[in-house]
Every structure is written in structure tokens, then in C-alpha cells.
Amino acid sequence: MADSPQHGADRFGCPEFRRNLALDRRGFVKAGALGLGGLSLSSLMRMEAAAEDRAAVSNEKSVIILWKRGGASQHETWDPKPDAPSEYRGSFGAMSTKVPGTQICDLLPQCAKMSDKFAILRSLHHKNAGHSAGDQILFTGYPPGPNPNENVYPSCGSIVAKQLGHQTPELPPYVMIPRTLPGVESAYLGKKYSPFYTQADPASKATWPQNGGRFEVPNFELSNGLDFNRLDSRRGLLDGFDTIRRDIDNSGNAAAMDKFQQQALDIVISPKARDAFNLDAEPMKLRERYGFMPQYDAPTPDRCGVPSWSQRILLARRLVEAGVRLVTVDLRWWDTHVKGYETMRDGFLPRWDQAYTALLEDLEQRGLMDRVMVIAWGEFGRTPKVNKTGGRDHYPGVFSAALSGGGIQGGAVVGSSDSKGALPKERPLHPQDVLATMYRHLGVDTKVTYDDFAGRPHPVLPFGDPIEELF
């Protein structure tokens, strides 16, 4: 498909032309030299309805959540305490940054050079030190249920999908790279608002071009034994057989199915969705800027390794650029209980430093900074005091986050922690405040309520206000 005519046109035509071409499936079918098959009146009308949807494509806002799963240490990222006693300070130093007066961990030199591009929150806190419980709090704004691995409340992405729908009809509104995590599900909003999982993982070496690999999302590429002619004749048959009266159903489900069938065909046939997920289309130079650092394997089983997730971040950029509203990227596993410094130094920090700054640079160069807000955080921070095994344990009492884009003033630092990095000192912030900031950027009304399985209404957020100092 890579060199088919419409693909080329989609690349080089002016925006208006590109859109029309994408809209006009009949035009596409001709351009693709496929027969019209049994194009029935009903299918024509359904196509027109789909085209109307497409006209609404706009310059709407998106969000990337860089999920530092495991809980990154505040001391070893955005909130170093160079003056604290060594058992609190840890092994690393602090480094001055481009923003006068702001210091970050000295193993993040590229971030330091770009510290005017992102803002730092240093006074986030909540009360639950379980991984999955923290996941629930940060993704939903609500406390976890009896089983913290299961969403009792919908994730922010599901809320976005429910309230705003898709931005681009060929693309799902809410994508998770690569697979599920506690907290990201749709709970009482229904499966329809679950994230679209890429399943395929850009962190897998086998997908990298230098290894002769390709990145392929399941079901997007034609299955074995199918080609476009075949698919088109199947579609023709389906149009011919799918003639049951649509007015037997007034629940909207049959209509929705027609729409999704069309959308699924678009994904497989039209280049737009496959293009959005086609990581291989990114120039090698840019991919290298994000980095191909290999997976960091934990030297002992009591420590956590670091997958080579840098390319996942690039995929996220590609998706929001194409019109996905919310992309969550799993950047695990910052759970540094044992020999944390070693893991941070050799594993997390160099990968993070390179990939995060690559993303900021990339967004800026593409003029996407206003449209795309990037929230980098994890379920909690780490204990202020270094433990006996040279690591830090779970600690929700205070933690940091980095935010950028969507009108956020780069270089802003909001809130602070005390001298040991143990408790919020100034302007204590709740995770819900970050969610409120994100929702405002996207245009989600946080006062709207949705009913749970017992019919009880719950607002999008129980509390929380946008963090005005960021803007």
C-alpha cells in the first residue's frame, strides 16, 4: 500500500485536496483501480453520513500522558535536595538549568538545557502507596475500589472519548501504547470507551528498521490471504446481503455498527489510520533522536529493568498529530527499591533525558505545542530517606511531574517540597488539579455526571482546579 497512488497524493497534495480525497471513498475506489462492486443505495447513504462526520475534523486539542509507571523518585528527577543530609539527598547532585534558579537532577543534562520548554510541579501528593491504587487515583481522579487493578471509575481517556468523541473519524479517540495498565479502563462508561491498545510495541527490537523489522498494529494490515481486490469484493457482497431494514433498530446500535464497519474498512483501505500508526514512516534521523537505547536488564531479580520505550513516545507524537485525543504511553518501571541509583543512572535517566527532550523539540518544530499538552508523571514519588538496600520505597506524600504544551509557560515551577523532599511545603497540589488542567485544555466539562452500574451519578472529577500559575 505504501506506494499506491492515493498514498502519494495524501503526502503531497495541499491540505484541502488531501481532505477531499480522503472523504471521497468512491474517488478512492476508482483511484485504487478497484471495482465498485455492489455499491447499494444504503451503503452510499452510509458513506455520505460518514463523510459529514469527517468534515468536522478540526484543530482540536490533544494530550500525551507519559506514564512513569512504578513511581519515579522526586529527588532523582525534578526536585533534587543538594543541601539535605546524604541519607536524604542520595548519590546524585543537582544541576542548574536554562531557567535561572531552577535545579534538576544532574543526570538530566538535556532536560536542563531545555528547561524553559516545560513546567515542573513539585508538591503533588496523595495518600495511597500501592502501585495500582496510585494508578487509579492519577488516571481517574477517584480512589481505588476493592481490587485496585480494576477500574471502578473511568479513566480520563475514557471520559474524553465519551464526552468529546473522536477528533478524526478514522482514528480512535483514546489510545494506549502498548497494552493495558491498572486505571486506564472505562468502568461504567462501557467497553466502547476503553482505550484502543496498539498491542504491537515499538519498544520491541524486532520492530526496528535497523533489525529489518516493521511496526504493525494487529488487524490494521490486511490478514494473510486478503488483498484489496478481495476485500473490495467482500465489501460488495456485504452491501448486497446486508439489506435488513435499518428501522427495526431504534437503539442506535445498528447505525453505530454501520459506522464502525465503515471506519474499520477505512483503516484497512484508506491510508489515513494506517499512516497514523505507521511508525516506520518517521525518518531514521528523528527516530534516532528519540533513541534506540537497548532494554536495560535488571542485574538481580529484586530490581526492575527498563524496556527500550523511547520509540513509544515517538508513536504517541505521531498519533496526536494525526488526531488522536489522548494517548497514554507506558514508560515502566521506575520502582527503584534496590540499588536505585544504579538503575536510574544506567537505565531510566539517560533514556528519559533523550526521549523527553526529543519529544519537546519535535512538537515545537511541528508547531504542535499549543495543540498538545504533555503530562509526564507516575503513580507516586519515593521515600525521602534512602533505604538500607540503596533504593527508595513507595511514597505518595510528595512527588513531582513535568507538564508542557497547551499554553503552559515553560520554565514555570509550581509548588515546592520541604528540605528533605518529604512533604509539600508551598502550594500543595492534588493529582486532580493536574487532571482539571488537562480537562480544561481538551474542553471537557468536569461538572458533567455519568451514572455508575448502580445508577449513582459521579462527576468527571470529584474536586480539583486547573493550576493557573502554569499559564
Partner 1 sequence: MKEGRGRRLSPASPANSLLLLKGAAILPHGGGARFDPNSYDYQLITRWVAMGMPRGEETDPTVVGVEVYPKSRLVSANAEQQISVTAIYSDGHTEDATHIATYEANDKEIAEVDDTGHVKFFEQPGDVSVMIRYQGQVGVYQASVPLGATVEKTPEPRNFIDELVFAKLKRVGMPPSALCDDPTFIRRVSIDIAGRLPTDAEAKAFLESTDPAKRDKLIERLLASTDYADYFANKWGALLRNKRSNASAMRGNYAFHGWIRDSLHKNVRYDEFARSVVAASGDMGQNPAATWYREVKTMQTQMEDTAQLFLGTRMQCAQCHHHPFEKWSQKDYYSFSAFFSTVGRKPGRNPGEEIIYHTRKVAQTANKKDGGNVLAAGLGDDPLALTADDDPRHALVDWLSQPSNKFFAHTLVNRYWKHFFSRGLVEPEDDMRETNPPVNPELLDGLAQHFIRNGFDMKDLIRTICQSQTYQLSSIPNEFNAKDKTYFSRYYPKRLNAEVLYDAINQMTASQANFSGLPVGTRAVQLPDNSFNSQSYFLTVFGRPDSSSSCECERSSDASLAQSLHLLNSKDIQSKLSSGNGRAAKLASTNDKREVEEKIRELFLLAFSREPSGSEVLLARQHLEREIEDDKGAKKPVPQKESFEDIIWALFNTKEFLFNH
469 is a site residue for partner 1 (CB under 8 A): no
Residue closer to partner 1, measured from CB, 221 or 346: 221
Instruction: Tell me the longest C-alpha to C-alpha distance in the chain.
Output: 77
Residue closer to partner 1, measured from CB, 201 or 362: 201
Residue closer to partner 1, measured from CB, 161 or 306: 161
Which member of 11, 52, 83, 147 binds partner 1 (CB under 8 A)? 147
190 is a site residue for partner 1 (CB under 8 A): yes
Residue 405, CB half-sphere, CA atoms under 13 Å: how many?
30
Nearest distance from residue 151's CB to partner 1, in Å? 10
Sign of the C-alpha dihedral computed for residues 320, 325, 331 and 334 taken in this order? positive
Q: How many helices (H) and strands (E) does the chain have?
A: 16, 16
Nearest distance from residue 48's CB to partner 1, in Å? 19
Alpha-carbon distance of 52 to 56, in angstroms, equals 7
The answer to whether 75 and 89 have CB atoms below 8 angstroms apart is yes
Sign of the C-alpha dihedral computed for residues 67, 73, 74 and 77 taken in this order? negative
Helix axes 41-55, 253-269, angle to 10 degrees: 80
Other C-beta atoms within 10 Å of 344: how many? 27
Q: Which residue is associated with the grid cell 509548588?
A: 415
Which member of 253, 283, 300, 301 binds partner 1 (CB under 8 A)? 253
471 is a site residue for partner 1 (CB under 8 A): no
Q: Which one, of 241, 374, 380, lies nearest residue 320 by Cα?
A: 374
Nearest distance from residue 166's CB to partner 1, in Å? 9
Nearest distance from residue 256's CB to partner 1, in Å? 4
Which member of 38, 82, 130, 459 binds partner 1 (CB under 8 A)? 38
Binders of partner 1 among residues 117 to 146 (CB under 8 A) are: 146
| Those residues with Cβ within 8 angstroms of residue 169's Cβ, 6 or more apart along the chain or in another chain | 50, 53, 54, 57, 263, 266
16 is a site residue for partner 1 (CB under 8 A): no
Residue closer to partner 1, measured from CB, 177 or 265: 265
Stretch touching partner 1 by CB under 8 A, among 53-61, 127-135, 245-253, 364-372: 245-253
449 is a site residue for partner 1 (CB under 8 A): no
| Residue 300 phi, psi (nearest 5) | -130, 155
Binders of partner 1 among residues 208 to 237 (CB under 8 A) are: 218-220, 222-226, 229-231, 233-234, 237
The answer to whether 412 and 470 have CB atoms below 8 angstroms apart is yes
Binders of partner 1 among residues 264 to 283 (CB under 8 A) are: 264-265, 267-268
Residues that bind partner 1 (CB under 8 A): 38, 146-147, 150, 172, 188, 190-192, 194, 196, 218-220, 222-226, 229-231, 233-234, 237-238, 240-251, 253-254, 256-261, 263-265, 267-268, 447, 453-456, 465
